[in-house]
Structure 1
Amino acid sequence: MTGPAGGDIVFAGSIPALYDRYLGPLLFAPYARELGERLADLKAGAVLETAAGTGIVTEVLVDKLPAGVEIVATDLNQAMVDHAAAKPALARAMLRQADALTLPFEAGRFDAVVCQFGAMFFPDRVAGYREARRVLKPGGRFLFAIWDSLDRNPMTRCVVDAMARRFPTDPPRFLARTPHGHSDRRTIRRELAEAGYGTVELNIVSLSSRADSPRDAAIGLCQGTPMRGEIEARATGPNGLQAATEAAAAALAAEYGNGPIEAPMQALVVVASG
């Protein structure tokens, strides 16, 4: 793929490690626990996770689901799968590279499909939703989370605004365009209906985003996401990425202080079936 959308789905190089270390506790672990709780009633069968990233949700599934439940976790990016596979806690799970739009599994294979903050990256969300439905058993559920708008996620918004000030003629737009660009409720319901789901439950879930310091949050958002490439393409000098990260950290410190920081964050947790 080419253009912004193509770059938005590439998580490679040092991004997986930074994503896991900094964005995991900042953004993803709280919602991983939320999704895990919603699947805790499974006592047997199989669960598929798509867009599993570095295995943050997978770790929760391994912890919460009994040994009788098979856990399969996939991601489009081999580098993310490799990072997850190196975690001893995930030895029980089957980890493999796979495209969520063309899953390498037979129809009716899984009791549940879970996807945390991955659907926004699908180049064709209806196709991705339809593929999840194809591999579900009759009566199975598709559980996924999508970030709400930037206005509902002020810590991320603070960094986006800081980058807009630093690069005013061509601001990096990854975070606004993709993670936080697909939260329209009517669109979500329409796309799921087009994919064949008869029942859709949409839940607004507000949790707390925490980091040990403004700099930790800035590293995660600026260097642990594809926004890194956008910054590097715009920054001048050998330390451009680091300077942009420090600008983001300063903006966060001005808003939240220099010690451990905390802010609300909001996502949509969707359960579809039928």
Structure 2
Amino acid sequence: MTASASDKAFTGSIPQTYDRLMVPMIFAPYARDLAARAKAHQPRDLLEIAAGTGAVTTVLASELPDTHITATDLNEPMLAQAKTHLTGKTNISWQQADALSLPFGDASFDIVACQFGAMFFPDRIKGYSEARRVLRPGGRFLFNVWDKIEENDFANVMQQTMHQVFPSNPPQFMARTPHGYHDPARIRDDLTAAGFRDIGIEMVAHRSPAASPQDSAIAYCQGTPMRGEIEALGEPSLEAATQRVAEALAHRFGNGPIEGKIQALVISAVA
């Protein structure tokens, strides 16, 4: 599956909903994992691509106070939300940037980190080549991508529900893009084509907590570009579709606080 232009539309109220609900539910444990892997290499200069609302940036700023962190994202509204968490941090520079055309010189960084962003690259080999270009020789590219949607409980229930609510044309954002790039062989081939070596790919599972089925449904339906796809279909309304997902989650996981499996691939490659 190929990402579409609408998949990058993290605008309007999406950044705030994403930050409030999505980050603690699915991104926080992988942010801690990626930051720990970066910390082990004690970088002087670190570039973060697709920083989003700052899930990884926040942990990196705390864990690596002597590292200069350059945090970038294609979407300025996401960076604006990220900055609200990190006011006063002097070791972070913020910059809007396209991962396929990084505005930095060759060999500028010891580590390039990217949390769940590679799936959105229109040309992954070009994006990886840019990461390699800005890395110093022997520098490391650390990133993660989601495993197939069937291995991620809340996302899978949401997607199945979309097929029921919109049987003729279900919104496919989550399956198409966040969960659409999970083949280790393809990832390894793309990195090799971009010139990386010593490629390691590890499957990492965590538990995904949500305060309620409603919170999880809102996160997926209204805190991602799924929102635009649902709204474009007209009927049922966004609220009605969200409620159907909440009901499906409650049926599967119960009411009150719920928990499900999440699974991702964590990749390390050397320039």
Query: Structure 1 length as normaliser, TM-score?
Result: 0.95
The total of aligned residue pairs comes to 269
Q: Deviations over 1:160-209 (max 9, x none)?
A: 11111000000000000000011011110100000001210000001111
- Superposed CA deviations along residues 57-103 of structure 1, whole A, max 9, x for unmatched, are 1001011113x210110000011111112224573311111001101
Letter in 2 for 1:80: M
CA distance in 2, matches of 1:224, 1:69: 31
2:84 is matched with which residue?
Answer: 86
Q: Per-residue deviation at 1:34?
A: 0.7
- Secondary structure of the structure 1 residue equivalent to 2:252: helix
* Equivalent residues of 1:42, 1:69 under 8 A apart: no
Q: 2:269 aligns with which of 244, 264, 272?
A: 272
Give the distance between the partners of 2:89 and 2:166, measured in 1 at CA: 43
Assess if the C-alpha contact under 8 Å between 2:14 and 2:223 holds in 1: yes
Residue of structure 2 aligned with 1:259, choices 250, 256, 268: 256
For structure 1, the residue ranges without an aligned partner over 5 or more in a row are none
SS where residue 17 of structure 1 aligns?
helix
Contact 2:206 / 2:261 at 8 angstroms: preserved in 1? Answer: yes
Q: Where does residue 208 of structure 1 map in the other structure?
A: 207
Which of 69, 72, 75 is 1:71 aligned to? 69
What is aligned with 2:122? 123
State the superposition RMSD in angstroms: 1.3
Aligned twin of 1:221: 220
**How do residues 224-235 of structure 1 correspond to structure 2 at under 5 angstroms?**
224-235=223-234
The answer on 1:142 being equivalent to 2:141 is yes
Matched-pair contact (CA < 8 Å) for 1:59–1:89 = no
Listed as ranges, the matches of 1:148-187 within 5 Å are: 148-187=147-186
Report the secondary structure of 2:4's partner residue.
helix
Extract unaligned runs of 5+ from structure 2: none
**Alignment identity in percent?**
51
Preserved contact between residue 58 and residue 86 of structure 2 (Cα < 8 Å): no
Take 1:44 and 1:150, find their aligned partners in 2: how far apart are those partners? 33
TM-score normalised to the size of structure 2? 0.96
